[in-house]
């Protein structure tokens, strides 16, 4: 229904554009009105589409006659993803690790680029892009009724379906029941303890009760039926296990530690030179997602209390928030000490730290999915030899502050952030932290960390291993 509405409105928009060009007042008014009408129509139609897709997914689940994993064989793995692959290092690292171990990886995902721009992640990894519209289910309640992705998945008979995040887990579970393949659920974050966008508040807010219940229900289904569970840190693993049980084995922790053997796509100049940073100034670099949940506003405000600190923010969609960030910096008297930079490929983030004095990690404390996180960016900063300024959350505190390679702060308090910035501005303090980074990197061992993923797959029973018919 939504697709039909979109097609009809697209044709109408083209007719309007012919008669009323977009650069005319009438054209702008008519296109704006048409967009508003389409948004209202889609909002009305969305519950009916979700109901239809829910029925389809339920029927597909009931029609599955094979226990998950009961007919698994071979070395093919189908990864299901709703993500921008170019900036999703966890998907890439998982695929490349398994391909290097001899598995054949197929990645099914709704592609926003042309087929000519498909990623090249090396031998053993192929991509099966879907039309971008097939990603709409992820932003429509309940967020995991991907009937079109399921149809694509059911064309395969792999050893396992690997679900990257909750929005693809029901697809993987249904496909596993219909093919007898294993299902490995990779929780990049804790969806039931995440956030939503509130139009009333014009901001992010905790999930509504019905959305949280839907996510918890699917997470419980995954724990009851999937072959294996993976997540990014021990805090989430422990709480998930306590909430859902260990019916199908332990929750494996594979942290987002980048393996540094892969070279960058290009070289990067010294940021201090590019941004004209003065010798007495400290360049703090933030790389990653931007927007209201990232907690960058208090950090920018803190620049007013840290006169020798310069902040560079690099991330996708930075232009959407540039005016807001610059306004805060101007009010803090630090307009000339804030730099906004375009994103780089996930393969380049370590090389792109060239010239920075410290990395930055922060996020708002809206939910456990945020406060329990252990994101790849903190490992990337360490890989670049940078000490890290970090919000005082348990996982990053243990990795960075307790090991002496970072300084903590209260993510909501500009004064606390400024105190950490000023402490980081002391060259001798940075030198002490830098000297400890090699030892920390040795202790976390990225090759061994990602080797756990190979062990997870090696432990999956197959028809040949069990002798089943």
- Ramachandran region of residue 373, left (φ > 0), alpha (ψ -120 to 50) or beta? beta
pLDDT in the model for residue 196: 82
> Above pLDDT 70, what percent of the chain?
86
d(CA 465, CA 81): 29
What residues have CB less than 8 Å from 27, skipping those under 6 apart? 16, 17, 20, 21
108-112, 148-152, 251-255: segment of lowest average pLDDT = 108-112
pLDDT in the model for residue 381: 95
| pLDDT band, very low/low/confident/very high, at 466 (cuts 50, 70, 90) | low
| 288 phi and psi angles, rounded to 5 deg | 145, -165
| pLDDT band, very low/low/confident/very high, at 469 (cuts 50, 70, 90) | very low
Secondary structure (DSSP) of 4-57? HHHHHHHHHHHHHHHHS-TTSHHHHHHHHHHHHHHHHHHHHHHHHHHHHHHHHH
Convert the pLDDT of each residue in 147-183 to its tens digit. Answer: 999 999 999 999 999 999 999 999 999 999 999 999 9
| pLDDT band, very low/low/confident/very high, at 2 (cuts 50, 70, 90) | very low
405 DSSP 8-state letter:
S
| pLDDT band, very low/low/confident/very high, at 9 (cuts 50, 70, 90) | very low
Convert the pLDDT of each residue in 272-284 to its tens digit. Answer: 999 999 999 999 9
pLDDT of residue 82 exceeding 60, the answer is: yes
pLDDT of residue 219 exceeding 90, the answer is: yes
pLDDT in the model for residue 50: 79
Residues present in the chain in total:
469
Convert the pLDDT of each residue in 131-141 to its tens digit. Answer: 999 999 998 88
Alpha helices in 233-354 (DSSP H): 234-244, 271-274, 296-302, 318-331
| pLDDT band, very low/low/confident/very high, at 19 (cuts 50, 70, 90) | low
11-25, 56-70, 243-257: segment of lowest average pLDDT = 11-25
d(CA 198, CA 348): 34
CB 190 within 8 A of CB 242: no
> Above pLDDT 90, what percent of the chain?
68
Q: Which residues of 250-282 are buried (b: 16+ CB within 10 A; e: fewer)?
A: ebbbbbbbbbeebeeeeebeebbeebebeeebb
Residue of higher predicted confidence among 198 and 351? 351
- Share the mean pLDDT of the chain: 88
**Residues β-bridged to residue 76:** 104
pLDDT of residue 347 exceeding 90, the answer is: no
pLDDT in the model for residue 15: 61
| pLDDT band, very low/low/confident/very high, at 385 (cuts 50, 70, 90) | very high
Secondary structure (DSSP) of 283-296? EEEEES--SGGGTH
Average pLDDT over residues 35-59: 68
Nearest to 163 by CA among 96, 247, 227, 69: 227
Residue of higher predicted confidence among 18 and 119? 119
pLDDT in the model for residue 265: 67
pLDDT in the model for residue 286: 98
Secondary structure (DSSP) of 413-450? -HHHHHHHHHHHT-HHHHHHHHHHHHHHHHHH-HHHHH
| pLDDT band, very low/low/confident/very high, at 432 (cuts 50, 70, 90) | very high
Alpha helices in 64-197 (DSSP H): 89-100, 147-153, 169-179
| pLDDT band, very low/low/confident/very high, at 88 (cuts 50, 70, 90) | confident
Average pLDDT over residues 438-466: 91
pLDDT of residue 383 exceeding 80, the answer is: yes
pLDDT of residue 38 exceeding 60, the answer is: no
| pLDDT band, very low/low/confident/very high, at 246 (cuts 50, 70, 90) | confident
Report residue 415 as tokens.
Answer: 């004064």
pLDDT of residue 79 exceeding 90, the answer is: yes
d(CA 21, CA 96): 48
For the entire predicted model, the pTM comes to: 0.78
pLDDT in the model for residue 444: 86
Average pLDDT over residues 312-334: 96
| pLDDT band, very low/low/confident/very high, at 20 (cuts 50, 70, 90) | low
Residue of higher predicted confidence among 44 and 307? 307
Residue of higher predicted confidence among 100 and 84? 100
């Amino acid at each position: 229904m939504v697709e039909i509405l979109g097609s009809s409105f697209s044709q109408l928009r083209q007719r309007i554009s012919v008669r009323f060009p977009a650069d005319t007042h009438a054209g702008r008014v008519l296109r704006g009105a048409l967009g508003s009408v389409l948004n209202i129509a889609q909002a009305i139609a969305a519950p009916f589409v979700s109901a239809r897709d829910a029925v389809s997914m339920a029927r597909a689940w009931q029609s599955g006659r094979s226990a998950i994993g009961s007919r698994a064989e071979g070395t093919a793995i189908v990864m299901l993803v709703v993500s921008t692959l170019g900036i999703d290092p966890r998907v890439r690292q998982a695929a490349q690790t398994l391909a290097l171990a001899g598995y054949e990886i197929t990645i099914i995902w709704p592609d926003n680029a042309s087929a000519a721009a498909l990623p090249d992640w090396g031998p053993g990894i192929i991509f099966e892009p879907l039309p971008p519209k097939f990603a709409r289910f992820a932003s429509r309640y309940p967020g995991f009724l991907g009937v079109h992705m399921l149809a694509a998945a059911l064309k395969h008979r792999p050893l396992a379906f690997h679900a990257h995040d909750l929005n693809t887990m029901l697809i993987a579970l249904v496909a596993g029941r219909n093919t007898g393949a294993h299902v490995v659920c990779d929780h990049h974050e804790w969806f039931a303890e995440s956030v939503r966008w509130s139009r009333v508040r014009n901001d992010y807010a905790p999930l509504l009760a019905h959305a949280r219940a839907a996510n918890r229900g699917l997470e419980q289904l995954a724990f009851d039926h999937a072959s294996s569970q993976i997540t990014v840190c021990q805090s989430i693993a422990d709480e998930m296990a306590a909430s859902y049980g260990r019916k199908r084995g332990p929750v494996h922790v594979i942290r987002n530690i980048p393996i540094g053997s892969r070279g960058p796509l290009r070289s990067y100049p010294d940021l201090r030179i590019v941004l004209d940073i003065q010798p007495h100034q400290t360049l703090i670099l933030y790389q990653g997602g931007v927007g209201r949940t990232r907690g960058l506003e208090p950090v920018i405000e803190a620049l007013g209390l840290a006169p020798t600190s310069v902040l560079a923010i690099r991330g996708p969609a930075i232009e959407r928030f540039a005016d807001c960030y610059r306004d805060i910096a101007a009010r803090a008297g630090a307009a000339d000490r804030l730099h906004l930079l375009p994103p780089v490929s996930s393969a380049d983030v370590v090389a792109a730290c060239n010239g920075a004095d410290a990395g930055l990690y922060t996020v708002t404390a809206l939910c456990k999915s945020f406060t329990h996180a252990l994101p790849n960016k903190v490992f990337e900063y360490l890989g670049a030899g940078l000490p890290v300024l970090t919000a005082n959350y348990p996982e990053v505190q243990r990795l960075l502050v307790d090991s002496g390679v970072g300084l903590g702060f209260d993510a909501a308090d500009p004064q606390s952030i400024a105190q950490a910035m000023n402490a980081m501005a002391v060259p001798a303090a940075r030198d002490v932290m830098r000297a400890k980074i090699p030892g920390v990197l040795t202790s976390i061992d990225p090759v061994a960390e990602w080797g756990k993923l190979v062990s997870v797959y090696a432990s999956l029973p197959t028809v040949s291993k069990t002798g089943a018919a």
